[in-house]
Amino acid sequence: EAKRHGRGTCTFFTAEAAQRVQERLGIESDLRCALKAREFGVHYQPKVSLRDGRVVGAEALVRWHHPERGPVPPGKFIPVAEEAGLIPDIGLFVLERALEEIGALVARGHDLAVAVNVSVLQLEDPTFARTVEDRLAAAGIPPRCLELEITETVAMRESEIIQGHIARLRMLGVRFSIDDFGTGYSNLAMLARSPIDALKLDRSLVDGVAGSNEQQTIVRTILSLAASLGFETVVEGVETDADLRFLIAEGATTAQGYLFSPPVPIDTFRTFLEPGRLQELWARSGGAARR
Ligand code: C2E
Ligand code: MG
Ligand code: MG
Ligand code: MG
């Protein structure tokens, strides 16, 4: 009985694993054509200042619309693109598109910064900083309007190439943040020395924080650590008024999450720049009082 059960389980997993491998290979070969076929796009998720409720920028997030599969979530294809060495091309596409679209709004007088995710493969390329500089110049956008999101492990890497890119770009005015903070194992001494501007608290810490004493302790600790190290804080994945209220009261700098908006096409993002559009949510959750 146990044996049969065991064998059955084994067969089940093998079939499933085989299917996963198939899917992955399919994604990889389709990814190779997707850039040329213009199947990628960029969506923007507004970032709201918790000091005044203003939209201060957006995170640029890649979108892939596959002709047969439909929309493929980044969680499914970014890891494949990284392993297949395709991420630098995708990353460059996102950077160019984001600078072009947000740059057009900056040129019209909006004070905005766009955050772009950068993977380690891009930063290991000796030409990365130069490429970013060229693209900023081409877009005619001030470097302080660009923020690059890196992971904890990348920020802690003692690689001369990576640290060189970060130093050079920060000197220009480009900002750096650590994405998904709180999911890795940060070395606090290294964090203190990290040449970064902001910590983005991971959604897993933020979501439901109003109802969990344990999360509140963790979030408070990170916010005060960040403040004492001179880092700004971005809270990601804010979905409820209650969570927002807590985060405003605890002094987080900036928020993004479905409460304000999911990632949207640039035309929709533009409508969030009308005065007061998202400010109402902020004021309702105690933002006006904090001010
Ligand atoms: P991330 O950089 O941490 O981006 C935040 C993710 O959380 C986005 O998922 C966003 O849609 C989602 N999110 C934001 N607010 C909420 C919320 O309130 N609730 C929930 N449930 N989710 C929320 P998305 O767009 O699926 O991207 C997933 C990950 O894929 C990103 O996580 C990032 O690591 C990666 N990624 C996306 N675009 C790029 C890119 O252009 N380059 C690179 N290297 N990675 C990217
Ligand atoms: Mg990010
Ligand atoms: Mg993140
Ligand atoms: Mg995240």
Q: What is the pLDDT of residue 10?
A: 54
Tell me the CA distances in angstroms from 72 to 30, 51, 61, 77, 142, one per residue in order: 11, 35, 13, 7, 33
| Cα-trace Rg, the chain | 21
3-state DSSP percent of the chain in helix, strand and coil, to 5: 55, 20, 25
Q: Provide the pLDDT confidence category of residue 127 given band limits of 50, 70 and 90.
A: very high
- The answer on pLDDT for 187 being more than 70 is yes
- The answer on pLDDT for 7 being more than 60 is no
Ligand 1: residues with CB < 6 A are 45, 61-62, 73-75, 78, 87, 91, 94, 117, 119, 149, 179-180, 203, 236-239, 256-258, 262-263
The ipTM assigned to this model is 0.98
Q: What is the pLDDT of residue 1?
A: 42
Looking at all shown ligands, the one closest to residue 259's CA atom is: 1
Q: Could you report the per-residue pLDDT of 81-99, keeping only the tens digit for each?
A: 999 999 999 999 999 999 9
Under a CB-based contact definition with an 8 Å cutoff, are residues 265 and 235 in contact? Answer: no
Residues 6+ apart with CB under 8 A from 81: 31, 87, 90
Report the nearest-CA residue for atom 42 of ligand 1: 117
Q: What is the pLDDT of residue 3?
A: 46
Residue-wise burial string across 194-224, b where 16 or more C-beta atoms lie within 10 A, e elsewhere: bebbbbbbbbebbbebbeeeebeebbeebbe
At 284, list the tokens: 């309702």
| Separation of CA 202 and ligand 2 centre (Å) | 9
At 192, list the tokens: 């203190």
Q: Provide the pLDDT confidence category of residue 12 given band limits of 50, 70 and 90.
A: low
- What sign has the CA pseudo-torsion 168, 170, 174, 177? positive
- The answer on pLDDT for 78 being more than 70 is yes
Looking at all shown ligands, the one closest to residue 183's CA atom is: 4
Ligand 1 binding pocket mutation candidate from 39, 97, 117 (most atoms within 8 A of CB): 117
| Separation of CA 7 and ligand 3 centre (Å) | 40
Under a CB-based contact definition with an 8 Å cutoff, are residues 223 and 233 in contact? Answer: yes
Q: Whole-prediction pTM value?
A: 0.93
- End-to-end Cα, the chain, rounded Å: 67
Report the nearest-CA residue for atom 12 of ligand 1: 237
Q: Could you report the per-residue pLDDT of 107-117, keeping only the tens digit for each?
A: 999 999 999 99
